Amino acid sequence: MASGSTLHFHILEDIARDLSGDVNFPTCLDAALLVRNALKDPLASTDQVVQVISVEPLICSKLLRLANSVSYNPAGEPTSSLKNVVRRLGFDIVRTTSLAVAMDQMLKSKNLAAYDQIARQTWEHSLRVAAIARVLAVHLGRIQPETAMLTGLVHNIGIFYLLFRAAEYPEYRNNEPAMIELLAGWHEGIGESLLHILGLPAAITDAVRDQSHLSPVETPSTISDVLYFAIALAGNGLPWQSSTQDAEEVARREADCMRYADLLKTAEDDIIELRAALSA
């Protein structure tokens, strides 16, 4: 088998070229890009955002489900008006939802068929991390819950992009060890670059880049801290994670998880509801 640097050179060279110019985004990210462009304007109005998302039924249906969930509608006042939905949720949730739709569509593309199990495990894990991150942020009161949820949702976007692109390269067909090595080594940096291009703030892209670093803080106070604890609380089990963690790191993460184990239990209903709303 070729060494890692030799085996992965071709795909990484092509991706680096894309990321430095016009990114070869899967078409399923078109809606997310349209939302990004609309939200680039600091003076964007609710009507303008509604106009962009109204032609995307999947985004609309997810937004409606979120807006009428207990997490965002504790008073139990349902709404079916897209304008009211956007006002209730805010632009950050519109961005989060557009990315959730895009990643869900990428998951269903034929390019990911060869590694469907890895892709689905990753998506389920991302949904759980997103929901836990929001619950943590609400509990801690230092980070905007919607920002935390968005960060959790997209922290593995590099995995999906690498799986999508690897379908074009024969060296990854029927070669799961090579694929796992590719994901473990490069998904964080590539995810950071993709999210920067998608217009996400530096605090989120930095958190995605540093997600596997142990957090030596007593109380999470940044997006990076919240993402670290959300990932730890969500549990491991993803194929590339076990290949990059030593025994000391595993023990440290387990100890960190114990600090918020009670919170996780009490918030499980919220986590289940948010996961369902984002994945439906």
Consecutive 10-residue averages of pLDDT for the chain (280 residues): 68 86 68 82 90 88 90 90 94 87 82 86 90 91 90 92 89 89 91 85 92 76 92 79 68 82 82 76
Q: Rounded to an integer, what distance in angstroms lies between the CA atom of residue 235 and that of residue 231?
A: 7
How confident is the model at residue 22, as a pLDDT? 65
HSE of 120, CA atoms in CB hemisphere, 13 A = 6
Closest CA to 49 of 62, 64, 37: 37
How confident is the model at residue 158, as a pLDDT? 92
* Domains of the chain, first to last: 4-22+109-279 (1.10.3210.10), 27-101 (no CATH)
Q: Rounded to an integer, what distance in angstroms lies between the CA atom of residue 176 and that of residue 182?
A: 10
How confident is the model at residue 173, as a pLDDT? 84
How confident is the model at residue 36, as a pLDDT? 81
In DSSP notation, 75-90 reads T------HHHHHHHH-
Helix (H, G, I), strand (E, B) or coil at 249: helix
How confident is the model at residue 245, as a pLDDT? 62
How confident is the model at residue 133, as a pLDDT? 92
